Amino acid sequence: MPTNNEDREWAERAASGDQDAFRAIYRAHVKPVYWIAHGILGSIPDAEDIAQETFVVAWRKLPGLQLAGTSLLPWLATICRFQAANRLRVLRRDRANTADALDETIPDTVSVEDQVISTALAERIASEVGLLDEMDRAIFRLCAVDGYAYRTAAEELGVSHAVVRNRLSRVRTRLRGAVKEVRDA
């Protein structure tokens, strides 16, 4: 996960039309956005579509964004939830108008409580990742966000496979504790 300063810098550059900065935002945040969409829609293809739509909307809205030292993730999560809610309305309308295409997996509502928990969870995880030391943050980004194998991440960072494995295990334990705090609150 990027630091708040990295997010702010990328947002400023992307708002000026810098596509490389926007790609950095996308790479840093696409997985959490996807999982928020999947949690709402319960469908892999719909979640993939909504994640993409979220970043299209974000690209258009970045020039007007006033980022006050926080992560972009809560803002992206909000866009994602609105896009997912719109998709649910379309799916329900289509289901109601198509007798042959009933799909009982489409949720009837989007729980406001679940949305608040998702935002709080995203903020808590972003905050916790921001507190990690530079090496742990790099390992988390490479393995958990970018999907690198331990060995590849180790080569990239110039450390051993065991260092990556052990540090990532500690980071995941720390993040599970943060998630538990939000869920128990």
> pTM (2 decimals)?
0.54
The pLDDT tens digits of the residues spanning 92-148 come to 776 666 554 445 555 555 555 555 556 667 777 777 877 888 898 888 877 776 677
CATH of domain 132-185: 1.10.10.10
Q: What is the Cα–Cα distance from 115 to 120, expressed in whole angstroms? A: 9
The pLDDT tens digits of the residues spanning 150-174 come to 888 898 899 998 998 999 888 888 8
The reply to whether 132-185 shares the fold of 1-108 is no
User: Under CATH, what is the fold of the domain 1-108?
Assistant: Rna Polymerase Sigma Factor; Chain: A (1.10.1740)
The number of CA neighbours under 13 Å toward the Cβ of 37 is 27
Domain boundaries in the chain? 1-108, 132-185
